[in-house]
Amino acid sequence: GHPPSEWYLNPGLHVAINCLLMTVAELCLQVGAREASHVDVPKWLAWTGLHNFVSGWTIAGIVVYIAAFVNWLYVLRWVPLSVAYPMTSVVQALIAIAAWFFLHEHVTLLRWLGILLISAGIVLSAKPAAQAEEKL
């Protein structure tokens, strides 16, 4: 069938929502990992990363990832994987920008150029993706 016509069920909107959820999840996991780095754990257990679960941020990141997963299943119901997945490349750029803005991480000029290239690639593939979606 055809994708639902209601704006809030638009698959393109849900691709964008998925990208935002993935970005938020990664930010939460980063904050959780930083918090957990202060937890004293035996060396034999440290490699597992299980001590990260002491942080509520880690749990929040997992919950947001689950929401992104459920959202992604909805997207795949309506959009071919070969169209939808390349659009998620924007997550790489969003994470770098969000880490710079919210976590005050240093982003080099080379990384900014990479973000620009990723963004250009998404713009170039967006029109063919929209045309493919219209044919559904």
- Integer Rg of the chain from CA: 18
Burial of 60 (0-12, 13-18, 19+ CB in 10 A): middle
Question: What tokens does 31 get?
Answer: 């904050």
Domain spans of the chain, in order of start: 7-134
CB atoms within 10 A of CB 94: 20
> Which pLDDT score, from 0 to 100, does residue 18 have?
98
Neighbours of 3 (CB within 10 A): 15
Residue 47: predicted pLDDT: 79
pLDDT tens, N- to C-terminus, the chain (136 residues): 777 889 889 999 999 999 999 999 999 999 999 998 888 888 877 778 788 888 999 999 999 999 999 999 999 999 989 889 988 989 999 999 999 999 999 999 999 999 999 888 888 877 666 665 566 5
